[in-house]
């Protein structure tokens, strides 16, 4: 039933009907009998193919269609048109075998039972997925160690911190060892330290068990740390599918030059090279055209006044910003 491609979509579309509501009592009353609607296309003609074991970033601005796509892939909503195949299944049929091989983690939704400690939610999921007691114990011990949640298991979920809850959410989602993991903003709202811990866990888990992972995130640190391939959508349309490095090159033609002088060369003007980002004494940061980066660095070194010089890519947020604006 499985192929080398775990996820395949062809011309995938999803349209929502949105009721229009006018202000005022009479207008509202009229809307009951003569409703007016707009149709909003959340996903439009999406072709996507993800190989077994890949960890892929699925990026786009708010409202781009990312969460809608994940919900279609996991079978929560029907596509309006087009086709989906995940592990050879059609997700919206909600086949029991299919549901036992995937997991969906949404950073703003709860898998934990709010009034129960995580250990009881985990025990419920053991029954749902028909995991033997011995296998349950082995998997639980492994996840508890990897996620460092031994102190969280017996505490009521509502009393856990956000970081503790998210790590317990991951334990619940991974207990049945899914082959496909859909992650929708798994680090949203977490502090920097906890984001790093969650990223480290995901990298470790992927390396050990090689699930296919499709990740959405607004935190570019997640993307840079976890994925090599990214798919970018905007207004429901795919606008990029390739490596993170190539995305950088495709979306921008600039680099960030940071130079610190022993003493500022006579007649030096950063505006002659590009756009000044900031200046602090003899230290300048300038955005310059990519094709002039090497020549600019050479010219600056030739002054004999350079104490330190670096050339860096602009932040990935700017890359996406340029793509979305195009």
pLDDT at 2: 44
Average pLDDT over residues 117-138: 96
- pLDDT level of residue 238 (50, 70, 90 thresholds): very high
Is the pLDDT at 25 greater than 90? The verdict is no
Query: CA 180, CA 197: separation in Å to the nearest integer?
Result: 21
How does pLDDT run across 47-65, given as a tens digit for each residue?
Answer: 999 999 999 999 988 888 9
b/e map 84-109, b = 16+ CB within 10 Å: bbbbebebbeeeeebbebbbbbbbee
pLDDT at 221: 84
Is the pLDDT at 1 greater than 50? The verdict is no
pLDDT at 32: 67
Domain covering 5-249 in this structure, CATH number:
3.40.50.300
List, in order, residues 6 or more apart from 56 with CB less than 8 Å away: 50, 213, 214, 215, 227, 229, 230, 231
Q: What does the domain layout of the chain look like in residue ranges? A: 5-249, 252-325
Q: Token digits for 199?
A: 């990223």
This model's pTM is above 0.85: no
How does pLDDT run across 250-303, given as a tens digit for each residue?
Answer: 666 678 999 999 999 988 999 998 899 999 999 999 999 888 889 999 999 999
- pLDDT level of residue 139 (50, 70, 90 thresholds): very high
Higher pLDDT pick, 66 / 249: 66
Average pLDDT over residues 167-194: 93
Is the pLDDT at 18 greater than 80? The verdict is no
Q: What is the mean pLDDT of the chain?
A: 89
Q: Token digits for 78?
A: 């029907």
- pLDDT level of residue 15 (50, 70, 90 thresholds): very high
pLDDT at 22: 67
């Amino acid at each position: 039933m499985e192929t080398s491609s775990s996820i395949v979509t062809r011309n995938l579309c999803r349209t929502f009907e949105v009721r229009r509501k006018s202000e005022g009592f009479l207008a509202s009353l009229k809307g009951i009998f003569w409703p007016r609607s707009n149709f909003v296309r959340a996903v439009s003609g999406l072709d996507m193919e993800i190989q077994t074991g890949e960890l892929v970033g699925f990026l786009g601005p708010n409202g781009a269609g990312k969460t809608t796509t994940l919900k279609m892939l996991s079978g929560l909503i029907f596509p309006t048109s087009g086709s989906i195949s995940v592990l050879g299944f059609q997700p919206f049929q909600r086949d029991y075998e299919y549901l036992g091989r995937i997991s969906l983690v949404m950073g703003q939704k709860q898998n934990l039972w709010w009034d129960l400690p995580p250990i009881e939610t985990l025990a419920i999921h053991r029954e749902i997925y028909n995991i033997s007691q011995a296998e349950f114990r082995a998997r639980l011990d492994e996840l508890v160690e990897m996620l460092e949640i031994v102190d969280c298991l017996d505490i009521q979920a509502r009393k856990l911190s956000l970081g503790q809850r998210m790590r317990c959410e991951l334990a619940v989602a991974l207990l049945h060892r899914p082959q496909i993991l859909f992650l929708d903003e798994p680090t949203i709202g977490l502090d920097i330290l906890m984001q790093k811990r969650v990223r480290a866990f995901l990298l470790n888990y992927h390396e050990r068990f090689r699930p296919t992972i499709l990740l959405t995130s607004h935190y570019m640190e997640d993307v840079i740390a976890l994925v090599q391939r990214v798919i970018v959508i905007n207004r429901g349309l795919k606008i990029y599918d390739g490596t993170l490095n190539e995305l950088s090159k495709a979306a921008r033609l600039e680099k960030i030059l940071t130079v610190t002088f022993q003493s500022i060369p006579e007649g030096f003007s950063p505006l002659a090279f590009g756009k000044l980002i900031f200046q602090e004494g003899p230290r300048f940061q300038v955005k310059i055209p990519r094709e002039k980066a090497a020549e600019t660095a050479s010219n600056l070194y030739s002054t004999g006044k350079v104490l330190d010089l670096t050339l860096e890519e602009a932040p990935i947020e700017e890359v996406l910003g340029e793509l979305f604006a195009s």
